[in-house]
């Protein structure tokens, strides 16, 4: 694979000076046009030690308008990053639509180095590569443009580079014992790198192998690769816009039309298995509530001491009592240890990113408790039913959500997913109560009534959501919420059980 990057290609100073202005002009023109699109650009710079990756990043920052570029440099994980899934630090730094993000050090660095040094087995390495490929595919299908450059040096060229840098008073600090240690594993590193590239060289996120022995050749090769990728995507966007403008506007989809015809009627789905008649007496509630709150409090404190976090997802029917259940949970927790994240319509900043971005940002540090009042499941519920997400978007979201939740659980987080459910009759009663009780009026809106009219469509979406995302790692707990007291006890018990398992 790397033979084509050992051809000895070079550029003289004169050739470089002659070619550079055109490359810079292309990059700036494309970057300017990019700002009006919904395309985030992800530039991955990776490769051999001593190949000039940092110098090329500096060159790109010199050639591009810095106001539209974000540079992210990643070394070994910090304590804050080790508290969370490995992908957390990458998700939170992804560029917004219309901007360029340069990643110097990336999601490839840790798996490749660990495999090279023998700290990661072959099966785990292949699993990590599959996860990387899925991560990039998800972003690409959401509109991201990937430009991935792998800098290659022959063994002899790398040795010369390291020795030359050691003799340079200004560059000596860049060469460390670790660099020479890596050089001793050159053959192993090259083999592992080749496997990583082959496994993740896809149509959505292709690799460009860059011959890095000559600085001028290397820098122009990367500049041209970025310019060509930007120009190709801009041409594609323009063509798509022209086709849309020429076509007649499509008929407006109704909520019922978004529901797949093959879905079973809601009354035959998973929601019909919930025993909505489940109740608890006032006496039992007064006895059980403090006991369960004390149990959760003790487990949360133990989780804090041991660095084990909890994530609780609350979803459910409108007026099902999610707020009341959350309050009974937070009463059991130390206010310094928990956060409640209420999820509403996305902001402009959130819409400029992949829909999971805003949820990755709030993944809790070790030992804390995060409660999502509604969550990433909006993609396959309200966004699906109301037509805010295209069919291909919400259909692929099931796999994306499962992958996200698996990463949470693998990192040691206790994940609980609760669906609070009530009957249509009980919902109507609560809606009318909210309209008449002064201190509850703020809870009922026109949107609640509109959603009620689409109950069949929502229940079809809920059935499919549970079927596709209730996994061994992250099962759904369906809570009968007609009796609020019984629902609150069930919620507290579920959260405690999940945290106890994680501990």
Residue 503, token pair as written in the block? 């501990």
Distance CA 140, CA 84 (A): 24
Q: Are residues 330 and 437 in the same domain?
A: yes
Q: What angle do CA 425, 428, 432 make, to 5 degrees?
A: 145
pLDDT of 492: 98
Q: Are residues 187 and 302 in the same domain?
A: no
Helix (H, G, I), strand (E, B) or coil at 344: coil
Domain count, the chain: 2
Taking only Cα atoms into account, the Rg of the chain, rounded to an integer number of angstroms, comes to 27
Q: Are residues 297 and 429 in the same domain?
A: yes
Secondary structure string (H, E, C) spanning 60-126: HHHHCCHHHEEEEECCCCCHHHHCCCCCHHHHCCCCCCCCEEEEECCCCHHHHHHHHCCCCCHHHHH
pLDDT of 108: 97
pLDDT of 259: 38
Q: Are residues 176 and 315 in the same domain?
A: no
The answer to whether 461 and 271 are in contact (CB under 8 A) is no
Distance CA 150, CA 127 (A): 21
Secondary structure string (H, E, C) spanning 188-214: HHHHHHHHHHHHHCCCCCCEEEEECCC
Distance CA 201, CA 169 (A): 39
Q: Are residues 319 and 464 in the same domain?
A: yes
Asked whether residue 14 is assigned to any structural domain, the reply reads: yes
Q: Are residues 25 and 137 in the same domain?
A: yes
The CATH number that applies at residue 365 is 3.40.50.300
Distance CA 218, CA 159 (A): 18
Asked whether residue 258 is assigned to any structural domain, the reply reads: no
Full domain range(s) for residue 152: 2-245
Distance CA 500, CA 503 (A): 5
- Taking only the tens of pLDDT, the chain with its 503 residues reads 788 888 889 999 999 999 999 999 999 999 999 999 999 999 999 999 888 999 999 999 999 999 999 999 999 999 999 999 999 999 999 999 999 999 999 999 999 999 999 999 999 999 999 999 999 999 999 999 999 999 999 999 888 888 887 777 766 666 677 777 878 899 999 999 999 999 999 999 999 999 999 999 999 999 999 999 999 999 999 999 888 888 866 555 444 433 333 333 445 788 889 999 999 999 999 999 999 999 999 999 999 999 999 999 999 998 899 999 999 999 999 999 999 999 999 999 999 999 999 999 999 999 999 999 999 999 999 999 999 999 999 999 999 999 999 999 999 999 999 999 999 999 899 988 888 877 776 777 877 788 888 899 999 999 999 999 999 999 999 999 999 999 999 999 999 999 999 99
Domain boundary among 180, 212, 245: 245
pLDDT of 103: 98
Asked whether residue 256 is assigned to any structural domain, the reply reads: no
pLDDT of 258: 38
Asked whether residue 252 is assigned to any structural domain, the reply reads: no
Asked whether residue 254 is assigned to any structural domain, the reply reads: no
- Using CA atoms, how far residue 127 sits from 53, 122, 414, in Å, is 27, 9, 22
Q: Are residues 213 and 271 in the same domain?
A: no
Q: Are residues 92 and 184 in the same domain?
A: yes
Residue 326: closest CA among 308, 338, 344, 337: 338
Asked whether residue 69 is assigned to any structural domain, the reply reads: yes
Residue 460, token pair as written in the block? 């079809």
Asked whether residue 259 is assigned to any structural domain, the reply reads: no
Q: Are residues 225 and 272 in the same domain?
A: no
Distance CA 373, CA 335 (A): 17
Q: Are residues 190 and 315 in the same domain?
A: no
pLDDT of 435: 83
Residue 139: closest CA among 196, 88, 105, 95: 95
Asked whether residue 409 is assigned to any structural domain, the reply reads: yes
Domain boundary among 245, 277, 306: 245
Q: Are residues 41 and 169 in the same domain?
A: yes
Q: Is 177 exposed, middle or buried (0-12, 13-18, 19+ CB in 10 A)?
A: exposed
β-partners of residue 480 are: 421
373 sits in the region (left: phi over 0; alpha: psi -120 to 50; else beta) called: beta
Q: Are residues 181 and 283 in the same domain?
A: no
């Amino acid at each position: 694979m790397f033979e084509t990057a050992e051809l000895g290609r070079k550029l003289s100073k004169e050739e470089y000076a002659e070619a550079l202005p055109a490359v810079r002009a292309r990059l700036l023109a494309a970057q300017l046009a990019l700002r009006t699109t919904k395309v985030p650009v992800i530039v991955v710079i990776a490769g051999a030690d001593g190949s000039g990756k940092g110098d090329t990043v500096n060159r790109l920052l010199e050639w591009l308008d810095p106001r539209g570029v974000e540079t992210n440099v990643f070394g070994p994980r910090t304590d804050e990053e080790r508290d969370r899934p490995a992908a957390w630090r990458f998700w939170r730094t992804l560029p917004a639509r219309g901007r360029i993000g340069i990643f110097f050090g990336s999601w490839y660095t840790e798996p490749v180095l660990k495999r090279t040094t023998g700290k990661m087995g072959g099966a785990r390495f292949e699993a990590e590569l599959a996860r990387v490929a899925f991560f990039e595919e998800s972003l690409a299908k959401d509109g991201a443009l990937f430009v991935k450059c792998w800098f290659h040096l022959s063994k002899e060229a790398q040795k010369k580079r390291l020795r030359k840098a050691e003799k340079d008073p200004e560059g000596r600090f860049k060469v460390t014992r670790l660099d020479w240690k890596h050089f001793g594993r050159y053959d192993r590193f090259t083999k592992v790198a080749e496997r990583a590239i082959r496994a993740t060289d896809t149509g959505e996120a292709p690799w460009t192998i860059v011959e890095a022995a000559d600085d001028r050749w290397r820098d122009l090769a990367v500049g041209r690769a970025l310019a060509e990728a930007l120009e190709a995507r801009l041409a594609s966007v323009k063509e798509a816009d022209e086709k849309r403008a020429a076509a007649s506007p499509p008929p407006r989809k109704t909520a019922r039309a978004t529901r797949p015809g093959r879905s079973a009627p809601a009354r035959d789905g998973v929601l019909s298995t919930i025993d909505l008649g489940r109740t608890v007496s006032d006496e039992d509630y007064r006895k059980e509530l403090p006991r369960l709150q004390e149990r959760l409090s003790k487990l949360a404190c133990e989780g804090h001491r041991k660095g084990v976090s909890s994530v609780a997802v609350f979803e459910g029917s409108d007026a099902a009592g999610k707020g009341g259940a959350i309050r009974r949970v937070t009463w059991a927790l130390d206010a310094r240890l928990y956060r409640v994240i209420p999820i509403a319509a996305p902001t402009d900043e959130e819409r400029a990113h992949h829909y999971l971005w805003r949820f990755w940002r709030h993944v809790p540090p070790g030992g804390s408790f995060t409660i999502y009042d509604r969550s990433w499941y909006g993609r396959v519920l309200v966004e699906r039913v109301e037509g805010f997400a295209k069919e291909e978007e919400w259909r692929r979201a099931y796999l994306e959500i499962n992958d996200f939740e698996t990463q949470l659980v693998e990192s040691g987080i206790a994940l609980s997913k609760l669906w609070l459910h009530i009957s249509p009759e009980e919902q109507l009663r609560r809606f009318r109560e909210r309209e008449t009780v002064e201190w509850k009026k703020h809870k009922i809106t026109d949107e609640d009534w509109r959603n009620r009219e689409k109950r069949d469509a929502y229940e079809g979406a809920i059935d499919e959501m549970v079927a596709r995302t209730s996994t061994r790692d992250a099962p759904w707990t369906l809570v009968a919420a007609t009796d609020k007291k019984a629902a609150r006890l069930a919620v507290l018990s579920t959260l405690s059980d999940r945290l106890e398992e994680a501990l």
